[in-house]
Structures are given as C-alpha cells and as structure tokens.
C-alpha cells in the first residue's frame, strides 16, 4: 500500500470520508476519455440529424442557437475549474450561492438580449428563453463536475459527464426524431437539460461539509471564467481571421485544417483533467507527468499527420482537400502546442496565479496585429502566423512567473 505524501492527495482517491476504493489512473483516464468521446459524439449527431430533419432556414437557426448556448455556457467551464481547485485544496465547502449567481447571470444575459438576438439572428422570440433554461442547467451542473474532479472521483466524473451530455443533447436529438421543428426541439432539449442539475448534485454529494472551510470567492470564479474564455479565443482566432482574410475556397480549406488542430488540442485533455486536483495540492510531479503525456501525444499526432496528411484531410473534408496534406503537420502542431498551454494554464490557476491567462490574451493580440499588418491571403501564410503565435504563447506560459502558492488546507480524511 502506498504512503500518502504530505503535499498531495492519495492516488486517485475517492472523496475523503466516502469509504469508496481508490481508482487506478489508467481506469480513471479511460473512463473520462470515453465520456469525452460520448460528449463529442452526441454533439456531432445533432447537426448531422438536423440536416436531414429541418429545412435550411431552421437548420441554420438551430446551429446558431446551439452556438449561443456554447458561448453563454463558457462561465460554467470556468466555474468547474474554480470549484475543482477549491475542493482539492480545502475539501468540501458550500459553493451553491456562487453557482446560482453564475447561472443566473448567464441565463439572464440571454433573456435580456432577446430583442437583439431576434432582430440580428432572425430567431423566434421564444428561443432565447429556451436557451437560457438550457444554459442555466449546464452552468448549475458544472458545480457538480468540479466537485467530482476536485475530489478525484473520476469514475463518477465520467458518469456525470455522460449524463450531462445525454441531458443536453439527448432532448434535442429526441425532438428532431419526433419532427418537433425548431421550437419544439429546443423545448424538449430545455426540459431534458433541466433534469441534469439535481441528478448530478446527488451524484457529487459529499458528506462532512465544514462551516470553517474557506468559501469559494467571486475572484476565483472570475479567474476560471477568464482563463477558459482566453483559451477558446486564442485557439479559435485563426479560424475567425481566415473567414475575414482568405477567399472562400481558402477559408473553407482552413476550416478543414482546424479540425486537425482541435483534435490535437482536445485529444490529450484527460491528462489535464486528472492532474488539476493534484496540482492544486502542490504535487509538482503531476505537472511534469501531465506535460509529458500531453507533449508526447502531440508529437505522435504531428508525426502521424506528416506521413498521412493527405489521408487526414480527405477523411475530414473529402477528396477535394487531399492536396492540402502538406499543411497537416502544421495544423496538428498548433493544436499540440495549445494542448500543452492548457496544462500550463491549469497549473497557473491551481497555483492561484494572478492574471493566469495574460499570455493567452497577449498571443491573441499579437496574432490579430500580425494578420492586420501582413494580411496573409493563403492558407500557408495564415497558418505560419498561427503556428508562430502558438509557439510564443506556449513559451510565455512556461516562463512567466506565478504568484507564490498560498498554504494548502488538507481536506478532511
């Protein structure tokens, strides 16, 4: 039996006091990975099914609606990060108030923006309200995901991720299968999404909350939200610039290439998920392991795309894009670098660093500035700028100092 180090939690232990057995990292990683595949799979099924069930106008409206939920739900991802770090460092605490406030702000923003969304995006008036219900459910569920991640109950985390995906996308899929149309589909989706928070809260319930445990603060949640937003912006900035700078054929080709980038970015994210609670407890070895696993995965993907770039583009975009295979290693390298950046970002958040995402915003500004000055008109030209930005951003994340870690309160055992 291993001995627990003073600076870190037991090996992938279940929540303190639950009496459940520890779970091996391999099993935990496999479970979280499978849950992530399910989440992405269900998200992919929605547009594929919608294209066969809705007319073009309704299809475009549904895609827009789902995009609005993704944008409005970004604070939920930041909330999950903040809750996970806080739980890992201090043990169970009451985070319900901040969770409700975060969900209310996200949902309220959509409702308040109804006139603008209806006019600018040509959506039915009831749609923003339905999206607000779904968004609130996703944000409320993020608290439970954060508690499970922070307490290293990774098998339950995988189950919770799967349940949330089924609630978030399953209703939409059901509505499409029933031929409910745009509004009816979103109604069914909102109803099923609303079922998720209480189920996940029960799954994540931990006995022994202490009134003396430090409370999660607004600044911690804000830092998590800002970091999540910065990661999304810097990793999608080149795709948005392609739309503005490249001709339609080039923009379409670039969008196909970014699928490879996003695959390289998200494929190794299980390492960051498993490492975050240990990083919050000061386990530096976890940082090294997470970086090694993430970098190794990225290297494998870059090498694979070097030898099978044409096949990768054909698989993603079809035969018309096979000739772009020479760019595949560069697209994969961009994603691989940002995957490493994400691990470093989690490490900074876990350490309580001020302005944890500052290098990401600096990278975004640099890319936009270079693109505005140089104005590349080819896929290769913009891709070189994107790769350079990824290199500089990753380097800045690695070398910029962090605020000294504050003392860690050991969770009750």
pLDDT single digits (tens) 45-96: 888 888 889 888 888 888 888 888 988 998 999 999 999 999 998 888 888 9
Q: Can you give the pLDDT at residue 403?
A: 58
**Of 33, 345, 290, which Cα lies nearest the Cα of 161?**
33
Q: Say if residue 235 is in the same domain as residue 189.
A: no
pLDDT, residue 145, reads 97
Which of 159, 175, 204 terminates a domain? The answer is 204
User: Which helix (DSSP H) or strand (DSSP E) does residue 24 occupy?
Assistant: none
Residues 57 and 171 in one domain: yes
* Distance of alpha carbon 98 from alpha carbon 104, whole angstroms: 10
Which two structure tokens, joined as six digits, stand for 138? 């996703």
The domain boundary, picked from 176, 204, 232, lies at 204
16 lies in a domain?
A: no
The verdict on 195 and 247 lying in the same domain is: no
In contact, 233 and 360? CB cutoff 8 Å: yes
**335 and 243 in a common domain:** yes
Residue 405 lies in a domain: no
Q: Are residues 193 and 244 in the same domain?
A: no
pTM: 0.82
Q: What is the mean pLDDT of the chain?
A: 86
Q: Which residue has the higher pLDDT, 49 or 316?
A: 49
pLDDT-based confidence at 322, cuts 50/70/90?
A: confident
> Could you tell me if 84 and 279 are in contact, meaning their C-beta atoms sit under 8 angstroms apart?
no
Interhelix angle 154-177/25-53, nearest 10 degrees: 10
The tally of CA atoms less than 13 A away on the side-chain side of residue 24 is 3
Confidence class for position 408, pLDDT limits 50, 70, 90? very low
Give the residue-averaged pLDDT of 5-30. Answer: 51
Is 200 in the same domain as 222?
no
- 224, 150 Cβ separation under 8 angstroms: no
- Name the token pair of 129: 């309200």
Q: Give Cα separations from 169 to 11, 76, 173, 178, 215 (angstroms).
A: 33, 17, 6, 14, 33
> Does residue 11 lie within any of the structural domains?
no
Average pLDDT of span 95-106: 94
Kindly report the number of other CB atoms within 10 A of residue 28's CB atom: 22
Q: Quick check: is 350 in a domain?
A: yes
| Same-domain check for residues 261 and 171 | no
Domain-ending residue, one of 204, 233, 267: 204
174 and 282 in a single domain? The answer is no
Is 263 found in the same domain as 141? no
Distance from chain centroid for Cα 321? 28
Domain with 126, as residue range(s), is 25-204
- When divided into structural domains, the chain yields a total of 2
At 252-262, the pLDDT tens digits run: 888 888 888 98
The answer to the question of residue 19 being in a domain is no
163 and 294 share one domain: no
Q: What is the pLDDT of residues 104-129, one digit of tens each?
A: 999 999 999 999 999 988 889 999 99
Whether 295 and 317 map to the same domain: the answer is yes
Q: How confident is the model at residue 402, as a pLDDT?
A: 64
Neighbours of 119 (CB within 10 A): 9
């Amino acid at each position: 039996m291993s001995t627990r180090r003073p600076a870190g939690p037991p090996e992938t232990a279940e929540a303190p006091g639950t009496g459940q057995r520890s779970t091996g990292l391999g099993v935990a990683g496999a479970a979280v990975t499978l849950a992530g595949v399910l989440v992405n799979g269900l998200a992919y099924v929605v547009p594929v099914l919608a294209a066969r069930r809705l007319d073009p106008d309704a299809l475009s409206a549904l895609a827009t609606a789902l995009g609005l939920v993704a944008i409005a739900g970004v604070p939920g991802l930041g909330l999950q990060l903040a809750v996970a770090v806080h739980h890992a460092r201090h043990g169970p605490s009451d985070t319900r108030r901040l969770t409700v406030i975060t969900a209310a702000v996200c949902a309220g923003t959509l409702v308040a923006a109804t006139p603008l969304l209806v006019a600018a995006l040509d959506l039915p008036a009831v749609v923003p309200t339905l999206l607000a219900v779904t968004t609130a459910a996703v944000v409320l569920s993020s608290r439970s995901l954060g508690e499970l991640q922070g307490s290293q109950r990774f098998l339950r985390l995988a189950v919770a991720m799967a349940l949330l995906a089924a609630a978030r996308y399953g209703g939409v899929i059901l509505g499409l299968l029933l031929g409910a149309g745009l509004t009816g589909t979103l109604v069914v989706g909102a109803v099923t999404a609303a079922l998720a928070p209480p189920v996940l809260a029960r799954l994540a319930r931990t006995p022994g909350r202490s009134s003396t445990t430090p409370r999660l603060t607004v600044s911690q949640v804000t830092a998590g939200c800002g970091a999540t937003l910065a990661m999304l912006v810097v990793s999608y900035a080149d795709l948005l610039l392609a739309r503005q700078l490249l001709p339609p054929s080039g923009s379409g080709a670039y969008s196909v290439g970014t699928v490879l980038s996003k695959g390289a970015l998200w494929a190794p994210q299980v390492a960051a998920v498993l490492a975050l609670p240990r990083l919050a407890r000061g386990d530096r070895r976890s940082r090294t392991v997470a970086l090694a696993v993430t970098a190794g995965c990225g290297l494998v993907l870059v090498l694979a795309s070097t030898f099978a770039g044409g096949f990768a583009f054909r698989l993603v975009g079809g035969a018309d894009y096979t000739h772009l295979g020479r760019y595949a290693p560069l697209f994969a390298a961009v994603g691989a670098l940002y995957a490493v950046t994400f691990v470093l970002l989690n490490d900074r958040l876990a350490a309580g660093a001020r302005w944890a995402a500052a290098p990401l915003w600096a990278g975004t500004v640099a890319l936009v500035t270079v693109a505005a000055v140089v104005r590349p008109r080819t896929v290769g030209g913009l891709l070189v700028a994107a790769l350079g930005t990824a290199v500089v951003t990753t380097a800045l994340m690695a070398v910029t100092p962090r605020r000294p870690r504050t003392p860690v309160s050991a969770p009750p055992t």
